[in-house]
């Protein structure tokens, strides 16, 4: 059902305003990601997305069986916090620019992964 709802948005594409073609050679996705302007944000996004994916994948295995409620709560809080922080980051970037958010976001992500990685494996 969610996939069908997302596909309905395609109907809005013909109504989008046109734009002029950029001068110069056409860049593909991979060429754009290799450029200095897009390469750094692409690398930061990739690293944080992989870290979040690892946490979501292995969190149920890292917690003792009696604490399944904690896992469920954590798997709810993580995307909710990500959505809220993206909203606040978007507001901040619209008003002051996005450049000042890259380093704090990367540090927060690294700190969270470090906390998860430093946790000892539970005894079962």
Q: How far is Cα 90 from Cα 25, in angstroms, rounded to an integer? A: 31
Whether residue 52 contacts residue 82, with contact meaning beta carbons closer than 8 Å, is answered with yes
Across all residues in the chain, what is the average pLDDT? 82
State the residue for tokens 């922080």.
85
pLDDT tens-digit map of 3-41: 888 888 888 888 888 777 777 776 777 777 777 777 888
Which of 17-31, 33-47, 54-68, 90-104 shows the lowest mean pLDDT across its residues? 17-31
Residue 8 to residues 4, 14, 15, Cα–Cα distance (Å): 6, 13, 14
Domain boundaries, the chain: 43-119
What is the model's pTM?
0.54
Q: Give the mean model confidence (pLDDT) for residues 48-70.
A: 85
């Amino acid at each position: 059902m969610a996939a069908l709802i997302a596909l309905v948005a395609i109907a809005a594409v013909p109504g989008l305003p046109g734009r002029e073609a950029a001068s110069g050679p056409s860049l593909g996705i991979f060429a754009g990601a290799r450029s200095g302007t897009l390469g750094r944000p692409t690398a930061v996004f990739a690293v944080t997305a992989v870290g979040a994916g690892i946490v979501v994948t292995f969190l149920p295995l890292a917690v003792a069986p009696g604490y399944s409620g904690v896992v469920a709560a954590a798997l709810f809080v993580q995307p909710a916090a990500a959505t809220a922080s993206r909203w606040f980051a978007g507001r901040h970037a619209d008003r002051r620019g996005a450049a000042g958010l890259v380093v704090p976001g990367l540090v927060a992500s690294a700190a969270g992964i470090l906390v998860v990685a430093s946790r000892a494996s539970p005894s079962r």
